[in-house]
Amino acid sequence: MKPNFRYIYLFACFFSFVFITQAQIVKLKQNQENGIYKKGDKIRVIAILEKNTRDSLFVKVLENNNKLISKTAILPASDSLVIYEGTFKEPCSVRIEARIKDKKQSIGMMVEPELIKPGSKTPGNFKAYWKKEKKNLEALPYEVKFGKNECEEYSLVCFDTEINCTGPKPARGYFARPTKAAAKSLPIVLLVHAAGVKGSWCKADAKEALRYAKMGKGTMCFDLNAHGMLDGQPDEYYNNLEAGELKDYYYIGLESRENFYFRGMYLRLMRTIDFLTSLPEWDGKRVLVIGESQGGGQALAAAGLDPRVSAVVATVPAMCDWGGTLVDRKGGWPQPFEHAGDQKKMKKVLPYFDNANLLKNSKATLVVEIGLIDNTCPSTSIYAAINQAKGEKIIYPVTYREHGWPNATERPVWDKLVNGPKTSFIENYLK
C-alpha cells in the first residue's frame, strides 16, 4: 500500500533563522528548507561565517548517520561559501557537519524518505506469536490495585495503580479520570516514558496524568512507567534499580524471545490498554498514546499491537528498524545489533519487537517528529518503520534537531512550527 504521508514543511522563517546558535561562528542553510529531496535532486549547503574569520573550516558529509562520504578542510575566502553540492540516487539520510575551532554546526536532510524499507524481514509466524501473547493476556483475570487518591480536586481522582500482567512485572502508573462521567463519554490517553530508570522523565507522574485528564471534556489518562517499578518511591529505590536489576536493561535477553526486555514492556502496554478499554466510560473510539524517544517507540508499538489505538504522537521515537544495522544503516535505539551477542540468535528474536514490523498492522493516525541530525534515533530508522503503517501520517522533519530538545536559540522556531502544532493536535483530538 502506498504510504499516506502529510508532511509539515518547516520553512516559513527558516531562511531568516538559518539555524543560528548564540556564539557560533558558522551557520548553515540548504536549498530545500524542509530537508526533503527527491532522488537526483541537487543538495546545496551554504556556510555563513563571521567576517574576517581566518581559521580553516572542516566539513564532513555523512550518509545514513555513520557512513563518511567526504571530509574536507576549506580556508574561507569570503563570509559565505558553498560547502557541499551533490545528488543521491537511493533513499538515504545525509548529514553535513561544519566546524571551526571548537564550534560545530550540523544540518540534516532526507532523500526519498517514504521509500526507505526495513532492514530485516518480518518473521513468518509473527502474527501467530503476538496472537498467542494477546490470548494469554485475555485469559488472565484482572487484579487491579488502587493506592491513595493523589488529587485534591472534587471533580477528579488520580490513583497509583497496579494491573497484573503475564510479563515479569505488573503494569504500574497513575490513573486519572473525572469522578462523574457518563458511559461511552471519555477518550483514553496513555502516556509512556523515555529511556532510563531514575530520572524525572522515566517516572510516572500524578500531575501529568491529571493535566491530561482535564483536557477536552475530560479523559481517562494513564501515565505508565516503562518498567513496572513502584511509583512515588525514595530516590534510593530508583538508584538501586538503575545500578542493579535494570542496569542496561535494553540489552537484556537479546538472544531469547521470552527473556527479551522489551517483550515485558510491550505486554504492559497491551495490558493497560485492555484495562482502560474495558471501562464503561470509554467512548469506544479514541485511544491516544503519547511518548518521546523510548516513549515514542512504545507509542508506535502500541499502535502496531492494538488496533484500538486510534492516534499516536511520537517524538524522535526509538525501537525502529533495528535491522537497519544489517543493511549498512544505523539502526534505531538501542541499536541492539551493535551490541555483543550471537547475531544468528538475535536475528531470530529482535524482528518480533521491531516497530518496522509491528506497524504493519496499524491504521492509527501517526503524528511523528523526526530529528534529521539525530544519531540516537536516526531518521532512516523512523521512516523505515512508519512507512509500513496504513493510516494517516503527519510528519515533522526537523533539519536542526539532534536527539535532545532544540537549544535556546532554536527553541522559539521549534515551538511555533513543531511543538505547537503537535500540542494543538492533541488538544483538538481530545475535544
d(CA 320, CA 371): 14
Which among 381, 389, 386 has a CA at the least distance from the CA of 368? 386
Contact 88, 99 (CB under 8 A): no
Residues, the chain: 431
Residue 369's alpha-carbon distances to 338, 366, 394, in angstroms, are 25, 10, 9
The mean of the pLDDT values for the chain is 93
Spatial neighbors of 199 by CB under 8 A, at least 6 apart, are none
Contact 214, 427 (CB under 8 A): no
Same-domain status, 181 and 210: yes
d(CA 292, CA 295): 5
Same-domain status, 230 and 264: yes
Residue 26's pLDDT is 87
Spatial neighbors of 378 by CB under 8 A, at least 6 apart, are 64, 65, 93, 324, 329, 330, 331, 332
Residue 5's pLDDT is 60
Q: Which of 93, 115, 137 is the last residue of a domain?
A: 115
Same-domain status, 248 and 362: yes
pLDDT in tens, 142-166: 999 999 999 999 999 999 999 999 9
Spell out the per-residue pLDDT of the chain, length 431, in tens. Answer: 444 566 554 333 333 333 333 345 789 999 999 999 999 999 999 999 876 677 899 999 999 999 999 999 998 878 889 999 999 999 999 999 999 988 899 999 999 999 999 999 999 999 999 999 999 999 999 999 999 999 999 999 999 999 999 989 999 999 999 999 999 999 999 999 999 999 999 999 999 999 999 999 999 999 999 999 999 999 999 999 999 999 999 999 999 999 999 999 999 999 999 999 999 999 999 999 999 999 999 999 999 999 999 999 999 999 999 999 999 999 999 999 999 999 999 999 999 999 999 999 899 999 999 999 999 999 999 999 999 999 999 999 999 999 999 989 899 999 999 999 999 999 999 99
Q: CATH number for the domain including 236?
A: 3.40.50.1820
Placement of cell 485528564 in the chain: 213
In a domain, residue 181? The reply is yes
In a domain, residue 14? The reply is no
In a domain, residue 9? The reply is no
Spatial neighbors of 152 by CB under 8 A, at least 6 apart, are none
Residue 386's alpha-carbon distances to 10, 187, 248, 393, in angstroms, are 20, 24, 27, 8
Spatial neighbors of 202 by CB under 8 A, at least 6 apart, are 193, 194, 195, 196, 225, 226, 238
Question: Which stretches of 251-354 are DSSP H helices?
Answer: 261-277, 294-305, 343-349
In a domain, residue 10? The reply is no
Same-domain status, 211 and 340: yes
In a domain, residue 277? The reply is yes
Q: Which of 115, 136, 152 is the last residue of a domain?
A: 115
d(CA 325, CA 210): 40
Count: domains in the chain: 2
Exposure string of 307-316, with b = 16+ CB inside 10 Å and e = fewer, is ebbbbbbbbb
d(CA 415, CA 282): 32
In a domain, residue 12? The reply is no
Residue 40's alpha-carbon distances to 43, 82, 85, 313, 330, in angstroms, are 9, 19, 12, 32, 23
Q: Which of 115, 142, 174 is the last residue of a domain?
A: 115
Same-domain status, 229 and 252: yes
Q: CATH number for the domain including 84?
A: 2.60.40.1930
Residue 17's pLDDT is 34
Spatial neighbors of 266 by CB under 8 A, at least 6 apart, are 298, 301, 305, 353
Same-domain status, 109 and 224: no
Same-domain status, 103 and 137: no
Placement of cell 550540523 in the chain: 106
Same-domain status, 297 and 400: yes
Residue 54 belongs to domain spanning: 19-115
The model's pTM is 0.94
Same-domain status, 72 and 155: no
Residue 102's pLDDT is 85
d(CA 100, CA 395): 33
In a domain, residue 7? The reply is no
pLDDT in tens, 327-357: 999 999 999 999 999 999 999 999 999 999 9
In a domain, residue 341? The reply is yes
Same-domain status, 270 and 417: yes
Same-domain status, 135 and 263: yes
Contact 62, 95 (CB under 8 A): yes
Same-domain status, 161 and 51: no
Query: Max Cα separation, the chain?
Result: 73
Q: Which amino acid is at 260?
A: F
